[in-house]
Amino acid sequence: MTAPHQPSRTQLERIAYRRKRAIRSTLIAAFSTAVVGLLLYLGVTGSPGWARVKSSFLDWDIAVKALTGRDNYPSILSGLWLNIRLMVICTACALALGLLIAILRTLRGPVTFPVRALATTYTYSFRGLPLIIVIYLFAFGIPGLRLQGTPSVTVLGAAAIVVTYGAYLAEVFRAGIESVHPSQVAAARSLGLSYRRTMRHVVLPQAIRRVTPPLLNDTVALQKDVGLISLAGPIDAIRAAQINQAGTANFTPYVVAGVLFVLLALPLIGVTDWVTLRAARRQNAGN
């Protein structure tokens, strides 16, 4: 039975030195952060117009009323629930649409040229159009046609977000698909796999894994832009904040809505950073 490995004295000293350096770096970082935060706080609160800004943007009583929906004003929390539902639905639909468009753009052969042309026109058009204009076109233009079965403005606004972000996500997916070396596709086809099975079992798993960080970044941006649905009329968190602001002549409801959106985005931002760091470590280990 072999004896357990005992680190040498030099190795123990090296470990203790690194631990000491890590503690020292953490303390320095915490101290410098506290100093910068204190200076910013003193600079802002010591400015001549701080009292006016505080009463206009940071009124606690108005924040509580806007958050809970008192005095016959809509609740920002209730509106945020609409934003959360739209975020989940729009994200899933935009990812599915983007993947479909990316696959269509990577088709080969002259027969599929019209499909590639339509997919390319779609991505070029909606990546160039501002989202606000797309929401206006969908929410107010389509109902103007007076077609039977026209959905509500909430659904039309969500559709505008989906088609806009679908164009961005399509290019991300296409970059991942084209990053897979052609020899892997050729090897899969030589084994008798069809084009569909090759894409499903060989290309797409690698492509999606490689573009996960940018996909998550676009998802964070989508989560933020879901608030633009208020332009179509539904009472979400932004619209509720606007109504509260108009009734109180105070901008605190907007600050409350902004803080809620930040808190909503923090978990996804953390996941995005973790996935990005993990991908970078895997790439460095491979090199």
For 286, residues 6+ apart whose C-beta sits below 8 A from its C-beta are none
One-letter amino acid identity for 176? G
Q: Predicted confidence band at 28 (pLDDT cuts at 50, 70, 90)?
A: very high
Q: Coil, strand or helix: which one is 80? A: helix
Q: Are residues 86 and 208 in the same domain?
A: yes
Q: Are residues 39 and 175 in the same domain?
A: no
Looking up residue 231, the CATH number of its domain turns out to be 1.10.3720.10
Mean pLDDT calculated for residue range 32-50: 91
Q: Are residues 161 and 263 in the same domain?
A: yes
Q: Give the helix, strand, coil percentages of the chain, each rounded to 5.
A: 85, 0, 15
CB-CB contact of 180 with 203 (8 Å): yes
Tell me, what's the pLDDT at 31? 92
Any domain includes 258: yes
pLDDT of 32 over the 90 cut: yes
Q: Are residues 36 and 67 in the same domain?
A: no
Mean pLDDT calculated for residue range 48-54: 89
Q: Are residues 18 and 121 in the same domain?
A: no
Q: Are residues 168 and 214 in the same domain?
A: yes
For 68, residues 6+ apart whose C-beta sits below 8 A from its C-beta are 75, 77
Is residue 36 packed enough to be buried (19+ CB in 10 Å), middle (13-18) or exposed (0-12)? exposed
> Total structural domains in the chain?
2
pLDDT of 102 over the 90 cut: yes
Tell me, what's the pLDDT at 205? 87
Q: Predicted confidence band at 3 (pLDDT cuts at 50, 70, 90)?
A: low
Q: Predicted confidence band at 4 (pLDDT cuts at 50, 70, 90)?
A: low
Using alpha carbons only, give the angle 163, 165, 171 rounded to the nearest 5 degrees.
Answer: 105
Mean pLDDT calculated for residue range 83-90: 94
Tell me, what's the pLDDT at 5? 67
Q: In which domain, by residue range, is 278 found?
A: 60-285
pLDDT of 201 over the 60 cut: yes
Any domain includes 49: no
Is residue 158 packed enough to be buried (19+ CB in 10 Å), middle (13-18) or exposed (0-12)? buried
Q: Are residues 39 and 149 in the same domain?
A: no
Q: What is the distance, to the nearest Å, from the Cα of residue 249 to the centroid of all Cα atoms in its chain?
A: 32
Q: Which two tokens stand for residue 165?
A: 């972000």
- Determine what percent of the chain is predicted with pLDDT higher than 90: 43
Any domain includes 134: yes
Tell me, what's the pLDDT at 165? 95
Q: Are residues 116 and 34 in the same domain?
A: no
One-letter amino acid identity for 152? S
Q: Are residues 164 and 271 in the same domain?
A: yes
Q: Are residues 133 and 259 in the same domain?
A: yes
Any domain includes 3: no
Any domain includes 249: yes
Tell me, what's the pLDDT at 2? 58
pLDDT of 191 over the 90 cut: no
Any domain includes 92: yes
Any domain includes 117: yes
Q: Are residues 254 and 184 in the same domain?
A: yes
Task: Give residue-wise pLDDT tens across range 211-265.
Answer: 888 888 899 899 989 999 998 888 899 999 999 998 888 999 999 999 999 998 8
Q: Predicted confidence band at 286 (pLDDT cuts at 50, 70, 90)?
A: low
Q: Are residues 23 and 143 in the same domain?
A: no
Any domain includes 29: yes
Tell me, what's the pLDDT at 254? 93
Mean pLDDT calculated for residue range 137-166: 91
Tell me, what's the pLDDT at 81? 93
Tell me, what's the pLDDT at 36? 94
